[in-house]
Amino acid sequence: MLLDSTQKNNGRTLKKIASFLSVSLAVFLSVIKFLASISTGSLSILSSMIDSIADVLASAITFIAIRYSTKPASRDFRYGYGKIEALSSFLQALFITGSGLFILYDGISRFFKPKELDDSFLGITIMLISLTLTISLVAFQKYVVRKTNSLALRGDSLHYITDIGTNMSVIIALIIIKITGITWIDSVVAIGIAAYLIHTAYILARDAVCMLMDQELGDDIKEDVEKIILSEPYVKGMHDLRTRSLGENDLFEFHLELDPNISLVAAHNHAHQVEAKIHQKYPDAQVIIHQEPEGAKEFHLDKQIELSKER
């Protein structure tokens, strides 16, 4: 258990470091892209700058959310604060949507009224710097997400994965414009960036809403938990398994069917052993077990769900 606690603390530290680096990089990129957009007049660089400003706001929200999500459960929030990461992810989606719509409008307007670009070499240089730093941050974020399964940090990482694509698109567009002088390519790239931002926002919002509404975990996890429960020889059956994500942790809740002739103490011990077996596979999970005698006539959620499917 001490090892699990140490791993959990290390994961929280990694999340805080990653979120701090994210905010710092977003601020730096916003500044240099702002200078590049003024120097070149490029709409694609301006759109990338707006994306970085949105990243500043989104990363700041992530930073705050992670600080709260890592707090231990309290008297008023006994399930912990993990779901604030889903709320953070949803707010990020709103910011991304807003910036995407702004870029889309500007891109369409500029397409019909092209503008000559200045000093594209400076723009290319700054975007290359931006690309290199962003790739480095995403690599670190992906490492932390693998260690912690943080939804907020995964959402933040999606921003910067998008940035990698947008930065490369801007660089290619600036090179083509410098060689050919075809300025409308700048607008096409900006519109493409806007469409991708809005698509990314949809994915973030969908995942956040699913967590906030307590969507069941994947069938593979549910089947695995059920297999663990039924592997114990004294378990006569189980039903009404409910699962959900609490952010940092998962929650498993189910009815455990036991021999009706055993004592309350024995039933408690059997349930405790099942819980310990689940924790071997899912050490951070919260497990709630309702013990009942095998063959008890009572309402089953599983049956209600099956009946609702037939209607």
* Boundary of a domain, candidates 212, 244, 268: 212
Residues near 226 by beta carbon (within 8 Å), at least 6 away in sequence: 238, 241
Q: Which two tokens stand for residue 148?
A: 């912690």
Say how far apart CA 254 and CA 244 lie, in whole Å: 12
Q: How many structural domains is the chain composed of?
A: 2
**Rounded to two decimals, what is the model's pTM?**
0.64
Is residue 208 domain-shared with residue 280, that is, in the same domain?
no
Q: Read off the pLDDT band of 5 (50, 70, 90).
A: low
> Tens of pLDDT along 53-76?
777 777 777 777 777 776 777 788
Closest residue by Cα to residue 50 from 117, 1, 100: 100
In the beta sheet, which residues pair with residue 237?
Answer: 257
Is residue 51 domain-shared with residue 187, that is, in the same domain?
yes
Is residue 14 domain-shared with residue 118, that is, in the same domain?
yes
Closest residue by Cα to residue 152 from 249, 9, 15, 10: 15
CA 273: distance to chain centroid?
33
- Give the CATH number, domain containing residue 256: 3.30.70.1350
Is residue 99 domain-shared with residue 78, that is, in the same domain?
yes
Q: Which has the minimum average pLDDT: 9-13, 135-139, 181-185, 262-266?
A: 9-13
Is residue 264 domain-shared with residue 207, that is, in the same domain?
no
pLDDT at 119: 58
Residues near 135 by beta carbon (within 8 Å), at least 6 away in sequence: 164
Alpha helix segments (H runs only) across the chain: 2-40, 43-69, 84-112, 120-148, 151-180, 184-212, 219-230, 264-281, 301-310
Q: Which two tokens stand for residue 249?
A: 């942790």
Is residue 228 domain-shared with residue 204, that is, in the same domain?
no
> In this structure, are strands 237-245 and 286-293 parallel, antiparallel, or unpaired?
unpaired
Residue 74 neighbours by CB distance under 10 Å: 9
* Boundary of a domain, candidates 150, 180, 212: 212
Say how far apart CA 159 and CA 204 lie, in whole Å: 10
pLDDT, averaged across the chain: 80
Is the separation of the CB atoms in 44 and 194 below 8 Å?
no
Closest residue by Cα to residue 248 from 2, 24, 17, 11: 11
Q: Which has the minimum average pLDDT: 173-187, 190-204, 265-279?
A: 173-187
Helix (H, G, I), strand (E, B) or coil at 53: helix
Is residue 19 domain-shared with residue 153, that is, in the same domain?
yes
- Give the CATH number, domain containing residue 147: 1.20.1510.10
> What is the domain extent for residue 123?
2-212
Q: Read off the pLDDT band of 225 (50, 70, 90).
A: very high
Is residue 238 domain-shared with residue 187, that is, in the same domain?
no
* Boundary of a domain, candidates 164, 192, 212: 212
Q: Which two tokens stand for residue 188?
A: 């096409």
Buried b (16+ CB within 10 A) or exposed e, 39-62: bbbbbbbbbbbbbbbbbbbbbbbb
DSSP state of 168: H
